[in-house]
Structures are given as structure tokens and as C-alpha cells.
Amino acid sequence: MNKPKFEKKSYEEDSDQLFDELQVYGKLYRLETEITRLTKENATLSKDNETLRKQISIKDGQLKVLKNNISSLYKTAKLELDRRLSEKQELQNQYDALVFRKIKNFEIQRQLQQQNIHSIHDNMVTPDSVDCDEKLRQNNKRKKSFHNDKNVSINNGHGYKWKRSPSNR
């Protein structure tokens, strides 16, 4: 009688053990598929990571080139601006010198003209010329008395102009 119980026990134990083994194998299979999936995902992520690292190193190189170019452009622009400012200052100085020379030449010419006028006037004013001036004044008085006639106006620089007489109006 002991033996059948043992067999019973052994059958139950075997089935429990089989069931436990099936559970363990099931878990093992699930774990192995999870490991396989994670390994593939890890490999994919590693490739992506490596690709991103390469892109970052390329972008870093491009960034260095851009910084260098911007720095060069800034320095060139600054030098060009300084050059143009100095050129503008030089042109302004030349312009000022020209204007100053023109003003000076004008003043010299004016002084020369005034000296010429004074020298001509000094040469003209003599005792004979004083008599001529007096004669001209007397002649003008005679002309004015002649023009007091109602029909003739004063000399307008182009000859005598006839006035309208009251009867011609």
C-alpha cells in the first residue's frame, strides 16, 4: 500500500515538477526573446548613437568654419569701414583746402581790384579832372533846365522819351 501512495505522490510531484519546468521554460523563452529584442534594439540604438556622434562632429567642424568665416568677415568689414572713414577724412581735408584756397584767391583778387581802382582813381584825380567834373555838373544842370519842358522827360539811359502832354492824354 505504500507503493501506490508513493506512485500517487510521485505522479503529483511529477506533474507539479513538469508544470514548474514548463513555467520555467516559458519564462526562459520569454526572457530569451526579450533579450533578443533588447539586443537588436541596443544594436540599433548603438548605430543611431554612432551616426549622431558623426553628425555632431561634422556639425562641430562646420561650426568652427562658420565662426572663423564670421570672424574674418567682421575683421574685413571693420578694416573696410576704417579705410573708408580715412578716405572720407582725406577727401574732406582736400575739399577744405580747395575752399580755403578759393576764398584766399578771391580775397587776393578783391584786394588787387581795390588797389587797381584806387590807383586808377588816384591817377584820375588831378586839377584838370576836377575842372572836368565841374564842367560835367554844369552841363547836367543845363540839360535839366532844357527838360523842364512839359513834352520831354529826363534821359532814361536810352535817349529822351517824350511825355504825353495833357492834351494828348
Please tell me the distance from the alpha carbon of residue 145 to that of residue 138, in angstroms, as a whole number.
11
From the CB of residue 153, how many other CB atoms can be counted at a distance below 10 Å?
13
* Alpha helix segments (H runs only) across the chain: 2-124, 127-146
Q: What are phi and psi of 152, to 5 degrees?
A: -125, 140
Q: What are phi and psi of 167, to 5 degrees?
A: -80, -25
Please tell me the distance from the alpha carbon of residue 149 to that of residue 143, in angstroms, as a whole number.
11
Boundaries of domain holding 69 = 2-120
For cell 548605430, the residue is: 47
Please state the rounded mean pLDDT for residues 58-62.
97
Kindly report which listed range (86-90, 99-103, 165-169) carries the lowest average pLDDT score.
Answer: 165-169
- More confident of the two residues 37 and 99: 37
Hey, what's the torsion of the CAs at 58, 63, 64, 70, to 10 degrees? Answer: 150
Please tell me the distance from the alpha carbon of residue 154 to that of residue 148, in angstroms, as a whole number.
9
Number of structural domains found in the chain = 1
- Tell me the Ramachandran region of residue 56: left when phi exceeds 0, alpha when psi lies from -120 to 50, beta otherwise: alpha
Question: Does 159 fall in a domain?
Answer: no
- More confident of the two residues 109 and 9: 109
Please state the rounded mean pLDDT for residues 127-147.
61
Query: What percent of the chain is predicted at pLDDT more than 70?
Result: 66
Question: Does 156 fall in a domain?
Answer: no
Q: What pLDDT score does 121 carry?
A: 64
Q: What pLDDT score does 138 carry?
A: 72
Amino acid at the residue 27: K
Question: Does 81 fall in a domain?
Answer: yes
Question: Does 25 fall in a domain?
Answer: yes
Question: Does 129 fall in a domain?
Answer: no
Q: Is the pLDDT of residue 88 over 90?
A: yes
Q: What are phi and psi of 162, to 5 degrees?
A: -80, 130
Question: Does 160 fall in a domain?
Answer: no
Question: Does 131 fall in a domain?
Answer: no
Confidence tier at 41 by pLDDT (50, 70, 90):
very high
Q: Which long-range contacts (CB under 8 A, 24 or more apart) does 117-125 make?
A: none
- Lookup: cell for 18: 513538469
Amino acid at the residue 66: L
Query: What percent of the chain is predicted at pLDDT more than 90?
Result: 40
- What does pTM read for this prediction? 0.41
For residues 162 and 151, the answer to whether their CB atoms sit within 8 Å is: yes
Question: Does 83 fall in a domain?
Answer: yes
